[in-house]
Amino acid sequence: MSETNAPLRIAIAGLGTVGAGVIRLLNTNRDLIAARAGRAIEVVAVSARDRSLDRGVDLSGYAWEDDMTELAGREDVDVMVELVGGSDGPALAASRAALKAGKGLVTANKAMIAHHGLALAELAEAAGVPLKFEAAVAGGIPVVKGLREGTSANALTKVYGILNGTCNYILSEMEETGADFSETLAEAQKLGYAEADPTFDIEGIDAAHKLAILAAIGFGAKVDFAAVRVSGITQVRAADIAQADALGFVIRLIAEADAHEGKLLQRVRPCLVAKDHPLAPVDGPTNAVVAEGNFSGRLLFQGAGAGDGPTASAVVADLIDIARSEVSAPFSMPVAQLQALPPAEPGHRMERTYIRFTVNDRPGVLAEITAAMRDADVSIESLIQKGRAHEGGEVLVAMVTHEGPEANVRRAIDLLDGSDSLTGDPLVLPILPN
Amino acid sequence: MSETNAPLRIAIAGLGTVGAGVIRLLNTNRDLIAARAGRAIEVVAVSARDRSLDRGVDLSGYAWEDDMTELAGREDVDVMVELVGGSDGPALAASRAALKAGKGLVTANKAMIAHHGLALAELAEAAGVPLKFEAAVAGGIPVVKGLREGTSANALTKVYGILNGTCNYILSEMEETGADFSETLAEAQKLGYAEADPTFDIEGIDAAHKLAILAAIGFGAKVDFAAVRVSGITQVRAADIAQADALGFVIRLIAEADAHEGKLLQRVRPCLVAKDHPLAPVDGPTNAVVAEGNFSGRLLFQGAGAGDGPTASAVVADLIDIARSEVSAPFSMPVAQLQALPPAEPGHRMERTYIRFTVNDRPGVLAEITAAMRDADVSIESLIQKGRAHEGGEVLVAMVTHEGPEANVRRAIDLLDGSDSLTGDPLVLPILPN
């Protein structure tokens, strides 16, 4: 076929845990990789902020560049591996420079691909070089490949899954321990499952980056990160998890996309997931993606969503594909053929919903809530009122609705807006269909 | 890249449910496929035994060949799709003819690839044409691609999974209904989940075909179907499933392979699977494969293991890869680089084991069994004796051993061989490590 035997020469920009992991992987599995790739994959140059740092890998055989953009332009490099991160700034500049210089680009940078993936793909097309980003979504799970190639024969009806390991760790820990959100987040930070500034993870933005990439590939759509409707997990209480459990559900942060009637719906939000759904047993920092195709049926891809080993595994798989010359369109079809799908309004979508109110313990509150439900045409399937634990304590009212339009639930919540019966904002969580 | 815009012209040999499914898929998703493949995929000719049969798809636009080998040699064909089945005979002859004539080959034929895959890969290499067989393993799940490309950066420690939908359907039905094997098999046959002659499925041979293919790709080994140690599910009783359940397990037919110290172990056998293992919730005709890589960690691929839609999805994904010129070595590396790994002797492997005896209800039987365990150095973790349901009825003794060498369990069973305390052969099932 079209492979040559000359080594594939790579440059690595960014030597954090993933960068060091890629070097360690290339060293550890050297012979195997050469056999599978049809040729050696050789690091020729690296770049990072601090040259003096000990990263636990021997860098003495590689040229050092202080400037990433210089690295990207080196004559002796075939492919740049971008592991710096950040949607813009130096990572983007160096990535553009690499593609413009006719180098292939492999990146783990979900934010950059979610924001600039199409522009980078256009540069790659123009230069006739590969752009690959398996590591940008779901760590070591080959789900970019899964959608780009595995389900390529299918019109997908839906893509959804658990795309953020930090949130999944926190939610499954809360489930396990009964502890509340803030306490569990602090514990996760101590253990390295959450960053010092966890905003991108717990607010759902990281999952939204990944979802926007998967949706583009899965539905042949232009990446549209701005259209992802995002809510994070900070409002989920231990009591919600306990109620969900009693009702036969777990709570997971679900990223989901579908395309209907030429419109793309992309959402990240905590959902109730029935215990017999394939995503329910996915716990800890594990990720999982479900793709439903019109011929394949439901496919599940599951594995480690982060970590230096799994992420390096994805980066090097991309390099092996490039070494094998298996390198057609990054988003599964040329950019010009991706459709600009307008965002769908979810209001008419039918869902079952979990609604939790915290209320003052006084007569008439339940009547007020149930009247709002009736007036908004929301049909209640089950309702639990949990009495206060101590005098003056909050009372929790949790309910599951029958299937109905999402807009009705929002209308019911609006009707209750400003009521002095409520002691805080209600929490509305959809129930993931089985 | 290297795609051309000329249509990829295919011939389909075999028009059973899968062949008709491929035609239906190519028609239904025509535009999507052309966009993703970079060019149209067009059926130009077909061949099957009976031209007059109504297959629910319009064949009038395709040339008809009575002889598959003629089909394989047609000037106007780029790729032959072989969907006839059978390890030898016409399928193999036509497949060879296609490759020798410089046509690509896509096949769903697990038996043929398990027996002749290397020879066919050599023909493909010599002719410089693609050979692809995603549909031969686990239906619509892209697991051949998953191992060939998704985990390509990894040395795998293990590959294992549920590869036969018929067995999984029967075992999970037995679990659900409490019915015995033969009754459940009959029901499965009625529902189309088992064939009239179910031998290949229930004896584990079909799973062994698929395992031999995955092991070759995963471990860079020459396909060695003959070395797979196979036992089927016919000895599993409703009582075993009930005992397993009481002990926290389900029973699944597990195909597993690993490579240690240059030796390849390949086995298909019913196993006890802990209820919190990712394979435990896999029920009905679903398939699932776990691959454990030295950097990726544990990856799970799950979906429909059979059926015309999922199988067609895999066949057409292969065709799209070919249209995209993503077509390097079928077994992930050239045949000459695949190692001939001798089969491993499992005797020294450490396992926990479930052992079930059916015994006569008389004094001393338990003492005889436990003495044999002691003499073979098998340490018992738990033991249940279940009294007879009626006078003269069989008594069941089930135990779980602590981890120990498999050889010891076999020795204990040998010590009891010929004992008139036993009313039948004991059943020994390993417990899948978590």
Show me where the domains of chain B are located. 8-136, 143-304, 346-431
Q: What tokens does A310 get? A: 């799994």
pLDDT for B3 equals: 45
More confident residue, B330 or A327: B330
What's the distance, CA A91 to chain centroid? 20
Of B1, B276, B296, nearest to A310 by CB-CB distance is B296
Q: Which helix (H) or strand (E) holds A22?
A: helix A17-28
Q: Count other Cβ atoms within 10 Å, centred on residue B170.
A: 28
Q: In this predicted model, what pLDDT tens digit does every residue of B74-105 receive, in sequence order?
A: 999 999 999 999 999 999 999 999 999 999 99
Q: Which of B298, B304, B320 sits opposite A153 (nearest CB)?
A: B320
Please tell me if residue B312 touches chain A, with a CB cutoff of 8 Å: yes
What's A144-304's CATH class?
Answer: alpha beta
Using the Cβ of B302 and the Cβ atoms of chain A, whether some distance falls under 8 Å is answered with: yes
* Residue pair B301/B138 in contact by the 8 Å Cβ criterion: yes
Ranges A104-118, B155-169, B223-237, B381-395: which has the least confidence:
B381-395
Which of B296, B298, B311, B337 to mutate against chain A (most A CBs within 10 Å)? Answer: B296
Of B301, B310, B333, the CB nearest to A35: B333
Name the phi and psi angles at A33, rounded to 5.
-65, -45
Residues of A whose CB is below 8 A from B310: 295-297
> CB contact, 8 Å: A126 with chain B?
no
d(CA B180, CA B184): 6
Q: Report helix, strand or coil for B258.
A: strand
Please state which CATH number belongs to domain B8-136. Answer: 3.40.50.720
Yes or no: say if A325 and B2 are a contact pair by the CB < 8 Å rule: yes
- CA angle at B396 for the pair B391 and B399, rounded to the nearest 5°: 160
For position B391, what pLDDT does the model report? 59
Determine the pLDDT at residue A392: 61
**Nearest residue in chain A measured CA to CA from B299:** A303
Closest CA to B168 of B132, B117, B210: B210
3-class secondary-structure state, position B8: strand
The CA–CA distances, whole Å, from A125 to A87, A105, A328 equal: 21, 12, 9
Q: Which of B25, B148, B152 to mutate to test the interface with A (most CBs of A within 10 A)?
A: B152
Average pLDDT in the A207-212 region?
98
Closest CA to B315 of B110, B113, B107, B109: B107
- CB-CB under 8 Å, B329 with A328: no
B1 CB neighbours in chain A (<8 A) are 128, 130, 325, 327-328
- The three-state secondary structure class of A217 is helix
A129 contacts in chain B (CB < 8 Å): none
Contact state of B295 with A309 under an 8 Å Cβ cutoff: yes
Interface of A with B in 4-33 (CB under 8 A): 21, 25, 28-29, 32-33
Calculate how close chain B gets to A297, using CA atoms only, in Å: 7
Candidates A276, A288, A309; nearest CB to B296: A309
Q: Decide if pLDDT at B153 tops 50.
A: yes
Where residue A13 falls among pLDDT bands split at 50, 70, 90? very high
Pairwise CA distance, residues B128 & B261, whole Å: 34
């307008």: which residue's tokens? A342
Please give the average per-residue pLDDT across B148-171, as a whole number: 97
- Check whether A390 has a pLDDT greater than 70: no
Burial class (CB in 10 A: 0-12, 13-18, 19+), B412: buried
* Amino acid, single-letter form, for residue A87: S
CB within 8 Å of chain B, chain A residues 45-104: none
Write out the catalytic residue numbers of A: 210
Taking CB atoms and an 8 Å cutoff, what residues of chain A touch B312?
153, 295
Q: Is the pLDDT of residue B21 over 60?
A: yes
What was the ipTM of the complex prediction? 0.95
CB proximity list for B149: less than 8 A, separation 6 or greater: A142, A145, A149, A317, A320, A321, A326, B332
Binning pLDDT at 50, 70 and 90, where does residue A347 land? confident
Query: Which of A206, A204, A201, A167 minimizes the C-alpha distance to A184?
Result: A167
Does B250 contact A at CB distance below 8 Å?
A: no
| B212 closest CA partner among B139, B137, B262, B271 | B137
Answer yes or no: is pLDDT of B66 > 80: yes
Residue with tokens 């493949």: B37
Chain A residues closer than 8 Å to B28 by CB: 155, 294-295
A30-50 pLDDT per residue, tens:
999 999 999 999 999 999 999
Instruction: Look at B324 and A328 and tell me if their CB atoms are within 8 Å.
Output: yes
Strand, coil or helix: what is A205? helix
What average pLDDT does the segment B150-168 reach? 97
Query: Between chains, do B149 and A329 touch, taking CB under 8 Å as contact?
Result: no
Handedness of CA A271, A272, A274, A275 (dihedral sign): positive
The phi-psi region of residue B377 (left if phi > 0; otherwise alpha if psi is between -120 and 50; otherwise beta) is left
Tokens of B384: 């249940």
Q: Which residue of A has its CA nearest to B295?
A: A309
Q: Is B278 on the interface with A (CB under 8 A)?
A: yes
Shortest alpha-carbon distance between residue A374 and chain B (Å): 39
Query: What's the CATH fold of domain A346-431?
Result: Alpha-Beta Plaits (3.30.70)
Q: Which residue on chain B is closest to A298 by alpha carbon? A: B303
Determine the Cα–Cα distance for residues A215 and A217; give it in Å rounded to an integer: 5
Three-state DSSP class for B313?
helix
Map tokens 């939790």 to a residue: A356
* Rounded CA separation A326/B22 (Å): 24
**In angstroms, what separates the C-alpha of B257 from chain A's closest C-alpha?**
18
DSSP code string of B77-117:
-SEEEE----SSHHHHHHHHHHHHTT-EEEE--HHHHHHHH
CA–CA dist A112, A135 (Å, integer): 12
Task: Give the A:B interface size as CB pairs under 8 Å.
Answer: 220
Contact B332, B359 (CB under 8 A): no
Q: Say how far apart CA B333 and CA B219 lie, in whole Å.
A: 10
Best CA proximity match to B26, nearest among B324, B318, B306, B303: B318
B369 touches chain A (CB under 8 A): no
Average pLDDT over residues B23-32: 98
Find where tokens 């044409």 sit: B129
CATH, domain range B143-304: 3.30.360.10
Torsion sign (Cα): B329, B321, B19, B101: negative
Least CB–CB distance from B300: residue in A3, A152, A303:
A303
Question: Stretch B11-37: mean pLDDT, rounded?
Answer: 97
**Set B100, B210, B222, B263: catalytic member:** B210
The yes-or-no verdict on residue B385 having pLDDT over 90 is: no
Instruction: Tell which residue, B319, B314, B318, B291, has the closest CA to residue B303.
Output: B314
**pLDDT of the residue at A317:** 98
CA distances in angstroms from A203 to A86, A229, A253, A282, listed in the order given = 17, 11, 10, 20
d(CA B49, CA B51): 7
Q: Give the span between the Cα atoms of B118 and B129, in whole angstroms.
A: 14
- For the segment A388-402, the average pLDDT, to the nearest whole number, is 80
Check if the beta carbon of residue A318 is closer than 8 Å to that of residue A133. Answer: yes
Q: What is the pLDDT of residues A138-153, one digit of tens each?
A: 999 999 999 999 999 9
What is residue A158's three-state secondary structure?
strand
Q: Tell me the C-alpha distance between B149 and A321, whole Å.
A: 7
Cβ within 8 Å of residue A332, ≥6 positions away: A147, A148, A149, A152, A217, A220, B36
CB of B42 within 8 Å of a chain A CB? The answer is no
Residue B72 — very low, low, confident or very high, per pLDDT cuts 50/70/90?
very high
Question: Is pLDDT above 90 for B394?
Answer: no
Q: Say which range, A42-46, A160-164, A420-424, has the weakest mean pLDDT.
A: A420-424
In this complex, do B297 and A149 lie within 8 Å of one another by their Cβ atoms?
A: no
* Strand order, beta sheet including A79-82: A63-64, A41-47, A8-13, A79-82, A104-107, A131-132
Report the candidate in A319, A303, A327, A326 with the shortest Cα–Cα distance to residue A33: A319
- Whether B328 sits inside 8 A of A326 (CB atoms) is yes
Query: Phi/psi at A75 (nearest 5 deg)?
Result: -60, -35
Burial class of residue B363 in the structure, from the number of CB atoms within 10 Å of its CB (0-12 exposed, 13-18 middle, 19+ buried): exposed
Q: Which residue has the tokens 């779980």?
A: B400
Scored b (16 or more CB within 10 A) or e, B205-233 reads bbbbbbbbbbbbbbbbbbbbbebbebbbb
Where does the pLDDT of residue A348 fall: very low under 50, low under 70, confident under 90, or very high at 90 and above?
confident
Q: What is the pLDDT of residue B347?
A: 85
Residue B315 CB neighbours (<10 A): 31
User: Tokens at residue B389, please?
Assistant: 């349901």
CA A11/CA B289 separation, integer angstroms: 34
pLDDT of A393 above 80: no
Put simply, the answer to whether A328 touches B302 (Cβ < 8 Å) is no
- In angstroms, how far is CA B71 from the centroid of its own chain? 29
Q: Mean pLDDT, to the nearest integer, of B384-399? A: 76
- Report whether pLDDT(A2) > 60: no
Nearest alpha carbon to residue B142 among B259, B314, B326, B343: B314
State residue B5's pLDDT score: 86
- Please report which confidence band the pLDDT of residue A4 belongs to, taking 50, 70 and 90 as the band edges: low
Residue A192, φ and ψ in degrees, nearest 5: 85, 10
Higher-scoring residue by pLDDT: B244, A4: B244
In this prediction, residue B1 carries a pLDDT of 36
Nearest residue on chain B to A311, alpha-carbon basis: B296
∠ CA B71-B214-B316, nearest 5°, is: 40
Neighbours of A389 (CB within 10 A): 9
- What CA–CA distance (Å, rounded) separates A182 from A20? 32
Contacting residues for B114 by C-beta, under 8 A, at least 6 apart: B87, B208, B209, B210, B212, B213, B223, B225
Interface probe with B: pick from A2, A24, A31, A154, most Cβ of B within 10 Å: A154
Contact A360, A421 (CB under 8 A): yes
* Residues A77, A227: Cα–Cα separation, whole Å: 37
Q: At B2, is the pLDDT very low, low, confident or very high (cuts 50, 70, 90)? A: very low
Kindly determine whether residue A300 and residue B300, on different chains, have CB atoms separated by under 8 Å. Answer: yes
Does residue B300 belong to the interface with chain A, where contact is any CB pair within 8 Å? Answer: yes
What's the rounded Cα separation, in Å, for the pair B41 and B64? 18
Q: Taking the C-alpha atoms of A176, A178, A181 and A187 in order, what is their torsion angle to the nearest 10 degrees?
A: -60
B220 CB neighbours in chain A (<8 A) are 32, 35-36
Tell whether A172 lies on the interface with B, counting CB pairs under 8 A.
Answer: no
